[in-house]
C-alpha cells in the first residue's frame, strides 16, 4: 500500500513584516511540488532516516498522535520524499514537505484534516509559510495564531531568479531583527494597502506594487544584489513588480505573457555583473496552495 500527496513551493513572499501587532507574511504558491509517499515496510527499512526527512517523520508522528494513535500504529511506515524544490533559498521547501506529509498521513488514517489543522501542526515543528492554505493568506508564520484569507490570485506567472546564497531560516532567526522589522512598519502597511486593493480589483499592477514595496523594505534586513536594477529592467519590459524571499535568496518577477517581453528581459539581464549572485532563471505559474492527494 502506498499513499502519495503533494504540496507546492513558494517563490518567497508577496509581503512580510510587522502587521497588526506582530510578524506576518503572505506567500504564494508555484507549480513546483514536493511529493511525499507513505509506504508500509519493515521497521528495519527506516533505521537510517535521511537528515532532510527528520521533520517529515515528526509530522507523521504528530498526525497519528493528533488522532489518538500510539507509536505502534505508525512504526511500520516509511516516508519517501521526492522534491526538486531548492533548499534554504526561501521557497518553503520544508513547509511543502510537512504539508504533503500531513495530507498523506491523514489520508492513510481516513481522516479529513483541514488546512488550519495542518498549519497548527506545522507551526509546532518550525516557522510555516502560508502555502499551507489554498487561498492567498496573511499568516502569523511564527505562532500560527492569526490568519486572514483573501481568496484567489489573478492569473499570473513568475520568473524566478535563484540566488546562490543558502540561508537556513532557523539560523537566520537567531539574530534579533525586531527593531529593523518594526522600522519597516509604515512601508509594510502601504504594501498591505496595495495588496488588498489588488485582490479586490484583481489588479496585478497593484499586487506587483505591494510586493515591490515589501521587497525594497527588506533590503536593510537581507540584501539582494542588483534588486533595484532588476526591478528597473523588469518594469521596462512590462513586468508588474518584483517580490523577494524575505529570509531567502530568491527574487520573483511577476508577469503575464501578454504584457512582458521575457526574452528581452533575460537577454538584458544576462551580462549584468550582479547576475554572478544568481544561479538560474526559471518561469512558473502562480497556483493555489495546500496539500493534495495523488490518485495512483
**Position 148 confidence tier, pLDDT thresholds 50, 70, 90:** very high
pLDDT bucket at 20, cuts 50 / 70 / 90: confident
For residue 170, pLDDT beyond 90: no
The pTM of the full predicted model, rounded to 2 decimals, is 0.94
* Number of structural domains the chain divides into: 1
Cα–Cα distance, 220 to 31 (Å, whole number): 30
Nearest Cα residue to 162 out of 74, 77, 73, 284: 284
Name, in order, each residue with C-beta under 8 angstroms of 139's C-beta and a sequence gap of 6 or more: 24, 25, 26, 27, 119, 128, 129, 130, 132, 133, 146, 147
Confidence bin at 178 (pLDDT 50/70/90): confident
Distances in whole angstroms, Cα of residue 204 to Cα of each of 30, 100, 219, 229:
16, 29, 23, 21
Confidence bin at 294 (pLDDT 50/70/90): very high
The CA distance from 244 to 265, in Å, is: 18
> How many contiguous H segments (helices) and E segments (strands) does the chain have?
9, 10
* Whole-number pLDDT of residue 175: 81
* 36, pLDDT greater than 60: yes
pLDDT of residue 34: 98
Question: What are the backbone dihedrals phi and psi of residue 206, each rounded to the nearest 5 degrees, phi first?
Answer: -65, -40
- Identify the domain containing residue 241 by its residue range: 2-294
- Cα 216 from Cα 239, distance rounded (Å): 16
Say if CB 289 and CB 150 are below 8 A apart: no
In the structure, what pLDDT confidence band is assigned to residue 193 with cuts at 50, 70 and 90?
A: very high
Residue 208 has pLDDT above 60, yes or no: yes
Please state the rounded mean pLDDT for residues 61-84.
95
Kindly state the average pLDDT of the residues 18-27: 93
Q: Mean per-residue pLDDT for 177-184?
A: 90
Q: What is the average pLDDT value for the chain, to the nearest integer? A: 94
Tens-digit pLDDT profile for residues 232-245: 999 999 999 999 99
For residue 171, what pLDDT band results from cuts at 50, 70 and 90? confident
Q: Band of the pLDDT at 169, cuts 50, 70, 90?
A: confident
How many other CB atoms are there within 10 angstroms of residue 201's CB atom?
12
* CATH number of the domain within which 141 lies: 3.30.230.120
pLDDT over 80 (residue 23) = yes
Q: How many CB atoms lie within 10 A of CB 185?
A: 13
Amino acid at each position: 500500500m502506498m499513499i502519495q500527496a503533494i504540496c507546492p513551493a513558494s517563490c518567497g513572499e508577496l509581503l512580510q513584516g510587522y502587521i497588526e501587532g506582530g510578524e506576518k507574511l503572505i506567500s504564494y504558491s508555484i507549480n513546483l511540488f514536493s511529493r511525499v509517499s507513505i509506504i508500509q515496510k519493515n521497521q528495519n527499512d527506516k533505521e537510517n532516516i535521511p537528515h532532510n526527512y527528520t521533520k517529515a517523520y515528526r509530522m507523521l508522528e504528530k498526525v497519528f498522535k493528533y488522532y489518538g494513535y500510539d507509536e505502534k500504529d505508525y512504526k511500520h511506515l516509511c516516508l519517501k520524499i521526492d522534491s526538486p524544490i531548492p533548499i534554504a533559498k526561501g521557497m518553503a521547501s520544508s513547509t511543502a514537505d510537512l504539508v504533503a506529509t500531513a495530507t498523506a498521513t491523514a489520508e492513510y488514517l481516513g481522516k479529513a484534516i483541514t488546512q488550519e489543522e495542518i498549519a497548527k501542526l506545522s507551526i509546532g515543528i518550525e516557522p510555516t509559510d502560508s502555502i499551507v492554505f489554498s487561498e492567498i493568506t496573511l499568516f502569523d508564520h511564527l505562532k500560527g495564531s492569526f490568519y486572514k484569507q483573501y481568496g484567489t490570485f489573478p492569473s499570473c506567472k513568475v520568473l524566478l531568479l535563484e540566488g546562490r546564497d543558502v540561508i537556513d531560516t532557523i539560523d537566520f532567526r537567531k539574530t534579533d531583527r525586531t527593531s529593523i522589522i518594526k522600522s519597516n512598519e509604515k512601508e509594510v502597511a502601504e504594501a498591505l494597502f496595495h495588496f488588498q486593493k489588488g485582490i479586490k480589483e484583481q489588479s496585478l499592477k497593484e499586487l506587483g506594487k505591494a510586493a515591490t514595496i515589501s521587497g525594497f523594505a527588506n533590503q536593510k534586513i537581507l540584501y539582494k544584489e542588483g534588486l533595484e536594477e532588476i526591478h528597473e529592467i523588469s518594469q521596462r519590459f512590462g513586468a508588474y513588480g518584483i517580490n523577494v524571499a524575505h529570509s531567502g535568496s530568491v527574487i520573483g518577477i511577476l508577469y503575464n505573457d501578454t504584457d512582458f517581453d521575457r526574452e528581452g528581459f533575460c537577454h538584458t539581464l544576462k551580462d549584468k555583473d550582479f547576475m554572478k549572485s544568481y544561479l538560474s532563471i526559471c518561469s512558473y505559474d502562480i497556483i493555489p496552495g495546500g496539500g493534495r492527494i495523488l490518485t495512483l
